[in-house]
Structure 1
């Protein structure tokens, strides 16, 4: 560090991830570049120090954003940060619409709800956090940096997820739109819930279902059923199989969130939607993988002449697709019954409100 750098004013920004799961992944990528962004967008004459930390594995749910900001403020005080920004995957609401972010100059902290940002969460966070730090310092009358040259309402144009701004100076909430904001929130919840992790958690189920499908392909009764059923019936069987699988996973592994004194009804409903959508996406991808494998195995095992003799008509490749369709659907139902053999912890991770103890993330408090 040069002599001039030693005498520059220092501002410590704490970047807190709660729970330390998906938010910690975003925070880890942002921490490495945030100091440079603050220097470029807020004040180049300040020595910005960005420290990364964990929040609670299971943050408080009953107090909404105010409880969250209180917890972040306590952490900021304990660690002597100048300001603190909390990244969370909690789907927060105010005035009946999604709450994207909130700043509190009194506490010198701010919160950013990642699912409310939709799919492009890292990019939106990169744009929002420097502005939130600038806003906090300005509203707190911090003389170490020049006052922000923009008003809070300008965040509507800076971050596409923000629809309007509410609150008074120093306590500002940034809201999403009633319709698009809700859709973006649900998409963002699925993104934050990492459906790829749920897909990996269904690996044993997929292997079992593939074995069931391979066995079913050797049964000419299945061939005749596939030929007799129309596209509509096959589609209904497919939907019933996927629904049975998702329902069984939720029931067998107790993934359904129930409202209680700690979890408000609206939050429980959102958690359940996030869980259901994540599992639906994971099982749909599993179905497509199983279908592709079944088509390949069917084409290799079943000779065209044998299939023609059973169906008593000329056949082509579409008949193999139909056969794979009904076989995959029936195997999916069998997979639903066998899904109880899946690793409990792996499947539990698909529940939106469930967060396992973190591993691999370093909290600055730990040295």
Structure 2
């Protein structure tokens, strides 16, 4: 589901409990891409016997989410059924403490076991790294890469023009490519964020900590997509340069013997400069396509996405 952002995990569990009551389910487990926290630590899962619901934060599971879900969800369901039963039947899944050994993301259990309000918390540094990688995974960087087709088209057009200009060859031999590459990638990401209004601002519905996480997830996703786009452009430029520019012609312009490393350096500089053309092309991208790379973006932010809506 795509929950409201304010109120944290308690508000999410309240919404889920109302959904469970409306559907007349015995228990309900919510899988959400919303990053959750408790005690300033990433929250992997939370159970509430009183509400007969539980939630799992998918980003907190990191990259291998399906395997972690297969280990965690049966235990959560069994715990809810056992705690809610008046007969106090034995749990149908693993005990709460056992999940820490079955799910790598879970570091410890907090809360009141007698009340059935349990939180499964990740570790500090490793948990935050896992949370960020999980956010990037949930944000589908491949979709962002495919969506920036006009960016690549503009970049390839600029690179094709640059390959025919001997002044660019001399610049490629004189300039350092690493600094220019970093500047161009950062400039491209900044252009996408500013030009398409992808930066989350804290407000009444979005707490400052959540906005920071959303923005970090967006920046990491766009940086990964831009880096892959740059790599594709770089490889394509090397191939075209090797086919079109004869070694003797390059030697006459550079006034020195050249080898394959000269072509690599030339492609490096041209790819970096061509990213400027790609940046201009990115302004022509479909607004919905680019906004899909923003972590906090949902077409229907207050809607439920379950089997009825699928």
Give the alignment's TM-score, normalised by structure 1: 0.80
Gaps of 5+ in 2: none
* Greater shift in the superposed pair: 267-276 or 197-206: 197-206
Secondary structure of 1:296's match? helix
Q: Which residue of 1 aligns with 2:223?
A: 280
Secondary structure of 2:119's match? strand
Change (3 A) 1:292 1:261: same
Q: CA deviation at 1:151?
A: 3.4
Change (3 A) 1:242 1:80: same
Q: Which residue of 2 aligns with 1:146?
A: 90
What is the alpha-carbon distance in structure 2 between the residues aligned to residue 252 and residue 197 of structure 1? 19
Q: CA deviation at 1:143?
A: 4.4
User: Which structure 2 residues correspond to residues 252-291 of structure 1 after superposition, within 5 A?
Assistant: 252-291=195-234
Determine which of 48, 57, 74 is the counterpart of 1:130: 74
Gaps of 5+ in 1: 1-17, 20-58
Q: Which residue of 1 aligns with 2:146?
A: 200
Q: Which residue of 1 aligns with 2:22?
A: 78
Q: CA deviation at 1:88?
A: 0.2
Q: Which residue of 1 aligns with 2:241?
A: 298
The answer to whether the Cα contact below 8 Å between 2:46 and 2:119 also exists between their aligned partners in 1 is yes
Q: CA deviation at 1:277?
A: 0.2
Q: CA deviation at 1:153?
A: 1.8
What is the alpha-carbon distance in structure 2 between the residues aligned to residue 149 and residue 238 of structure 1? 52
Change (3 A) 1:142 1:343: farther
Q: Which residue of 1 aligns with 2:118?
A: 172
The answer to whether the Cα contact below 8 Å between 2:82 and 2:88 also exists between their aligned partners in 1 is no
Q: CA deviation at 1:140?
A: 1.3
Q: CA deviation at 1:126?
A: 1.1
2:299 is equivalent to residue 356 of structure 1: yes
The answer to whether the Cα contact below 8 Å between 1:242 and 1:333 also exists between their aligned partners in 2 is no
Question: When the two structures are aligned, how many residues end up with a matched partner?
Answer: 306
Q: Which residue of 1 aligns with 2:31?
A: 87
Q: Which residue of 2 aligns with 1:212?
A: 158
Change (3 A) 1:311 1:205: same
Change (3 A) 1:263 1:342: same
What is the alpha-carbon distance in structure 2 between the residues aligned to residue 364 and residue 335 of structure 1? 40
Change (3 A) 1:293 1:136: same
Moved over 4 A (4+): 142-145, 361-367
Of structures 1 and 2, the one scoring higher in RCO (CA 8 A, sep 6+) is: 2
Give the superposed CA RMSD: 1.8
The answer to whether the Cα contact below 8 Å between 2:59 and 2:134 also exists between their aligned partners in 1 is yes
User: Which structure 2 residues correspond to residues 1-367 of structure 1 after superposition, within 5 A?
Assistant: 18-19=1-2, 59-141=3-85, 143=87, 146-148=90-92, 150-169=94-113, 170-229=116-175, 233-357=176-300, 363-365=306-308
**CA displacement 1:201-246 (0-9 Å, x = unmatched):** 11111011001001001110111111112xxx31010000000000
Give the alignment's TM-score, normalised by structure 2: 0.95
Change (3 A) 1:348 1:362: closer
